[in-house]
Amino acid sequence: MICNRCKVDKSPDDFIHGKLKCRECYKKCQEYYKTHREQEIARAKKNINKDRVKTNAKKRESIRKNPIAYMLWNVKSRAKKRGIPFNLTHKDIVIPEKCPILGIPLIIGTGHPSPNSPSLDRINPQYGYVKGNVQVISHRANTIKSDATTIELRRVLEHMEKQQLPDLAKEAKNFHKISRYVDKNKKTCEEQS
Ligand SMILES: [Zn+2]
């Protein structure tokens, strides 16, 4: 049996069970790690980060090339985990240039979700990710929508308008748009059922 450190052919008795290094080398290594612990940890961390940067770049590139496939894959696994019905295919998804609710441009492939990332929205949340019940909106609009009920949105909006803070005017506008959108969908959902 050849030790993978000193490359000397030794008897199996010279190895700790399951290790590829001989006892002698193993001991040396342990001593080295004892005295160079910080250094080795730093080196390992650096390598992990390098790999992460590489995979992130790869991921961004594949999202840019095929954003709909990426979106489907993401939603499908989420639906499976939560037991939500899913029957979408590539043809069921269209990514518009702008968010249909907020009117902000939809930007594909930034690697991590930004307010402008396209996001798949269930028009009626009671139904799953099924044909005819989805559309692509901005991540920002989807977050606001999923967090709040119409009543909550109105209360926040009223509060913001009362305070009349100029830097919140834009956010207030967002809430207006979302709440109109939620109302409209509610109506169509009621009409359907
Ligand atoms: Zn050895």
Provide the CB-side half-sphere exposure for 123 (13 A, CA): 16
Find the 129 Cα to ligand 1 centroid distance in Å. Answer: 58
Q: Is residue 79 scored above 80 in pLDDT? A: yes
Distance (Å) from CA 6 to ligand 1 centroid: 4
* pLDDT band per the 50, 70, 90 thresholds, residue 125: confident
The CA 11 to ligand 1 mean position distance, Å, reads: 11
Q: Return the pLDDT at 130.
A: 92
Domain borders along the chain are 58-192
Task: Name 78's Cβ contacts closer than 8 Å, sequence gap at least 6.
Answer: 84
Confidence of residue 145 (pLDDT cuts 50, 70, 90): confident
Gap from CA of 178 to ligand 1 centroid (Å): 67
**Which has more pLDDT, 9 or 155?**
9
- pLDDT above 90 for 191: no
Q: How far is the CA of 28 from the centre of ligand 1 (A)?
A: 9
* pLDDT for res 110: 67
51 versus 168: the higher-pLDDT residue is 51
Mean pLDDT computed over every residue of the chain: 84
Q: Which residues surround the ion ligand 1 when the cut-off is CB under 5 Å?
A: 3, 5-6, 22, 25
The mean pLDDT of 164-169, rounded to a whole number, is 60
Cα of 41 vs centre of ligand 1, distance in Å, is: 23
Nearest to 185 by CA among 101, 120, 116: 101
- Give the pLDDT confidence of 3-35 residue by residue, as tens digits: 988 999 999 889 888 888 999 999 998 888 888
pLDDT tier for residue 119 given thresholds of 50, 70 and 90: very high
Exposed/middle/buried for 102, CB within 10 Å: 0-12, 13-18, 19+? Answer: buried
Ligand 1: distance of its center to the CA of 10 in Å?
Answer: 8
| Percentage of the chain lying above the pLDDT 70 cut | 90
Question: Ligand 1 mean position to 172 CA, how many Å?
Answer: 69
User: CA dihedral defined by 73, 76, 80, 86, rounded to 10 degrees?
Assistant: -160
Per CATH, which fold does 58-192 belong to?
Answer: Herpes Virus-1 (3.30.40)
Ligand 1 center to residue 5 CA distance, Å? 5
Ligand 1 centroid to Cα of residue 15, in Å, is: 9
